[in-house]
Each structure stands twice: as C-alpha cells, then as structure tokens.
Amino acid sequence: MKVLGLESSCDETGVAIYDSEHGLLADALYSQIGLHSEFGGVVPELASRDHVRKLLPLVNEVFEKAGITGADLDGVAFTSGPGLAGALMVGACAGRAMAYAWGVPAIGVHHMEGHLLAPMLEETPPAFPFIALLVSGGHTQLVRVDGVGQYAILGESLDDAAGEAFDKAAKMLELPYPGGPQLAKLAESGDLSRFTFPRPMVNRPGLDFSFSGLKTFTLNTIADCRGEGELSAVDRADIAAAFQEAVVDTLSIKCLRALKQEGLTRLVMAGGVSANRVLRARLAEKLSAMGGEVYYPRPEYCTDNGAMIAYAGFCRLQAGQQDELGIAVRPRWPMDQLPALA
Ligand code: ATP
Ligand code: MG
Ligand code: FE
C-alpha cells in the first residue's frame, strides 16, 4: 500500500510517500524559518500563503524521487489538526482534491499521532504498550499508548510546552528564532556547576509539567549577570546549560514516574525537543539502568515532516478508516478523542 503524506500544520511543508512493502520511498521538506524569523515567531497568514506556494512543487519532487505517479497511490493522508487553521486548510484541500482526482481514499491525520508514530519508521520500532513523551513546540505530554488510537494522557504541561520554553529562553539569550536547537548548541560549552535552575513540579505527585516559571528564572539570572553591562559569552553559555539541564532533568523524572506508575519499561520520545542530544542520552542512560528501552525517531523526523503523516495515515487507511468527501480541519483536537483501530 502506497500512501502520500502531507504536513502543513505550522511552518514546515512536508511531503512523503510511505510504502508498506518498501518503507519510505521519498521525503521532501521545506521550512519557513527564514520567512518568520524577522517577526520572532510564526505569522499565520504568511505561513498559509507559503504552504500554497510550496506544497505542489514538493509533491512533484517526491513523485520524481520515488519514480511513481499519482496513479500508483492507494491513499492520501494530510494533517487535519491540531495547528494553524489556514495552514491546515492548505494541506487538507490539496490532499482531499488529489485523492478525489486519483480515485483513492483520503484521511485526515492528527499531527501529534504523527509525531508519536514517527519512531515506527526506524529499524527497531517499539512494541505496544509503551509510554510516550511528546515534546514539541506546542505540546508536552506523557501518554500511555496501548495501540494506534489507544491513548491515555497521563500528564501534560499546564502552561508553556517544553519547545516553547526552549525558544523563549533562547530569545532572552538573543539567539535567532526558533532558538531551541541553538540554545542546545550554546549549552555544550556551558559550565553546569555555576547555576542551578528549578525543576518545576517534581516534588508534587502527578505527571503534569509547568515550564513558565523557568522563563522568569532565566530572565532574572540574565539580569543578575548583566548588571550594568553586557552579558558575556561565558554567561550566556552557562545560563543555556543550566536551563537545558533543568528541562532535561524535569522531563526525565516525570518519564520514570510514568513508567513506574503504569508498570511499563518501554519509553518512546517524539516531537522537536526529542532531537535534543542531552535529553536523548539522559533517557537512554536512565532506561538502561532500569532494564528498559528508549526509542526515538531519527533527528529529522523529530520535528515536523511528511513521513510521519504518511505513516500514521497508512495505519488508519489500512484498517479501513477514511474521511468523507468534505474538507474539515480541527485546529484544536485532543488526541485521546481519536478512534482506535478496528
Ligand atoms: P506541535 O508539534 O506541538 O504542533 P511544532 O510542530 O511547532 O509543535 P515541532 O516541529 O515538533 O513543534 O518541534 C519544534 C520545537 O522543537 C521547537 O520549539 C524547537 O525549538 C524544538 N527543538 C528542536 N530541536 C531541538 C533541540 N535540539 N533541543 C531543544 N529543542 C529543540
Ligand atoms: Mg515548526
Ligand atoms: Fe509538530
């Protein structure tokens, strides 16, 4: 079964073709980072317009790379939520129309289910059940996963998502948008013994998170270091390292707590922040110490991409699910409302 996947929920246009026999046939991605960087964040209207410009050229590119045409497809999957309404509409309209033209079924995919299933594209995919840590620009969730569509949300952030916190701290350190990966780079040369940032909510029972306090702590630390002058390169690196350590430590503590609570030993990480090398290494170390295993997507499939949407769409289409002819997007869409596979 060959499925075309389209991702356009935010500021990346991603297109890929997944084949159940041969795996991924082709994958193309266009990031709008350059477009939005001068505004310090994603401008929804500009995002939609850029998806309109880039989507069809990328579709043509993956067909060429895969050496197939629309006539060879068995289905089309597109992200139908959550995300920016206008941006989602671009992928949904294009995907629904192409499926209609080729006479194949179409399916709207939940963006976070896409992230969650991305590790299934790796050589050693995780077996169900497992705990998933979804850490991205808009979400921080711990989910018990018993199968595709069988999701119990065990905890989530009460305020900022982990990726959002990375981006905001990076902005305070005057790093260009989106700063998460750049903050991580800067942290490599930082001295971890200089500052200790708080680990929000770890001393309370439960699996929820809160990252907005870390923002204030970062701001105050910057102000203390700066005094009357400029922040030195050493100060910036030390603050970046302490911030990253606090986020990584907090996420790790809650992951272990979730595994223990549910009596599981498999952990899956997905979403942009799961590309963070320190977080990956820390969780690998903790899981190995408890005789468990950790799974994550290759770094390019941690952030938004078409491959994860093609794969999630394949899982649902193969089970006989498909969308009606109308086009609907769901900018807000709780993941635990998804149907399980029959
Ligand atoms: P969502 O998936 O919740 O809708 P999104 O699609 O914008 O949000 P992703 O593309 O999954 O989010 O991830 C982007 C986020 O990941 C950004 O906040 C970015 O800073 C963060 N990120 C990416 N790489 C790293 C890294 N190495 N370290 C820390 N954060 C990172
Ligand atoms: Mg993005
Ligand atoms: Fe995402």
Kindly report, residue by residue over 194-249, the tens digit of the pLDDT: 999 999 999 999 999 999 999 999 999 999 999 888 999 999 999 999 999 999 99
Return d(Cα 260, Cα 264) in angstroms, integer: 7
257-280 pLDDT per residue, tens: 999 999 999 999 999 999 999 999
Condensed to tens digits (0 to 9), the pLDDT of residues 125-168 reads: 999 999 999 999 999 999 999 999 999 999 999 999 999 999 99
45: tokens are: 């209207």
Residue 178 has pLDDT above 90, yes or no: no
Model-level pTM greater than 0.90? Answer: yes
188, two tokens: 């490599």
Distance 157 CA to ligand 1 centre (A): 15
The answer to whether the CB of 14 is under 6 A from ligand 1 is: no
Is residue 305 predicted with pLDDT exceeding 90? yes
By the CB criterion, residues less than 5 angstroms from ion ligand 2 are 10-12, 304
Question: Chain-wide mean pLDDT for the chain?
Answer: 97
pLDDT at 342 over 90: no
The three state secondary structure string of 72-103 is HCCEEEEEEECCCHHHHHHHHHHHHHHHHHHC
Would you state the pLDDT for residue 177? 85
**Would the CB of 280 count as within 6 Å of ligand 1?**
no
Return the best residue to mutate from 244, 274, 302 for the ligand 1 pocket (most ligand atoms within 8 A of CB).
Answer: 302
In percent, the amount of the chain with pLDDT more than 70 equals 100
146: its two tokens:
């018993």
pLDDT at 108 over 90: yes
Which of 313, 285, 279, 314 minimizes the C-alpha distance to 299? Answer: 279
